[in-house]
Each structure stands twice: as C-alpha cells, then as structure tokens.
C-alpha cells in the first residue's frame, strides 16, 4: 500500500513541480519583456536628446558668433580689447552655468530600469515571504 501511495504522490508531484517551473519561467519572461521595453524607451530618449543637443549646440554657436562679431565691430574703434574680454567673460560664465545645470540633471535622473528592478524586488520579497517594499 505504501508503494502505491508513494507512486501516486510522485506522479502528483511532477505536474505540480512542472506547473511551478512554468509559472517561474513565465514570471522571468514577463520581467525580461519589461526590461526590453524600458531599454527601448531609454534608447529612444537618449537618441532624441543627442539629436536635439547637437542641433542646439550648432545653432547656438552660429548665434553666438554673429552676436560676438556685431559687438566687437561696434566697439572696434573705441574699446575693442575690453569688448573682446567682456564677451569672453560672459561666455565663460554661461558655460559654467550650463555645465552646472547638466550635472544637476544627470544627478537627479532616475536610474535606468528602475521599474524592472522594483518588480524583481517584489518577486524576491514574495518568494522569501517578506513584506513587499513600498513603492
């Protein structure tokens, strides 16, 4: 009797284990799909940011050059060296402000794949029996 009961439990255990493995694989697949979606979104955002930054930098360079030439030409007969020095000082201050702002944006940016990491953390907590972290 014990052998028949053990065989029945073994036969019943295999489908349960297979169902558990299939569920785990489905969970991993869903998390990987989420990571793929986040990767695609991040790539599109970075490409758009780079295109806009390059276009803005080129156009700003043309504008700054034109304005600089107008200022230097206006003061050429009277204060040409002071005009050139003042323009250089203004550019240096604006460059420092731009770099400080860019640094601030980079520091405050959310980490890539934060949603995927949060979902993995929820899964880990659920499997370990812990209380899931608050969002």
d(CA 83, CA 65): 14
For residue 133, being part of any structural domain is answered with no
For residue 39, being part of any structural domain is answered with yes
d(CA 90, CA 99): 14
Residue 37, pLDDT > 90, answer no
For residue 97, being part of any structural domain is answered with yes
Residue 127, pLDDT > 80, answer no
Task: Please tell me whether residue 132 adopts helix, strand or coil conformation.
Answer: coil
Structure token pair of residue 26? 């489905």
d(CA 68, CA 5): 92
For residue 134, being part of any structural domain is answered with no
Closest C-alpha to 38, from 130, 125, 115, 91:
115
For residue 115, being part of any structural domain is answered with yes
DSSP string, 11-53: HHHHHHHHHHHHHHHHHHHHHHHHHHHHHHHHHHHHHHHHHHH
Residue 1, pLDDT > 50, answer no
For residue 135, being part of any structural domain is answered with no
Structure token pair of residue 28? 């991993």
d(CA 105, CA 53): 14
Q: Which domain holds residue 59?
A: 2-128
For residue 54, being part of any structural domain is answered with yes
Say what the pLDDT of residue 20 is: 83
As for how many domains the chain has, the answer is 1
Residue 125, pLDDT > 80, answer no
């Amino acid at each position: 009797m014990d052998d028949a009961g053990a065989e029945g439990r073994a036969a019943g255990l295999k489908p349960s284990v297979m169902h558990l493995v299939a569920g785990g694989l489905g969970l991993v697949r869903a998390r990987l799909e989420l990571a793929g979606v986040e990767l695609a979104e991040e790539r599109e955002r970075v490409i758009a940011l780079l295109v806009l930054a390059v276009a803005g930098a080129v156009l700003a360079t043309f504008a700054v050059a034109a304005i600089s030439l107008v200022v230097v030409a206006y003061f050429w007969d009277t204060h040409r060296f002071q005009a050139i020095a003042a323009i250089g000082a203004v550019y240096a201050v604006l460059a420092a402000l731009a770099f400080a702002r860019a640094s601030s944006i980079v520091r405050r940016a959310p980490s890539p794949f934060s949603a995927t990491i949060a979902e993995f953390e929820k899964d880990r907590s659920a499997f370990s029996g812990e209380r899931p972290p608050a969002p």
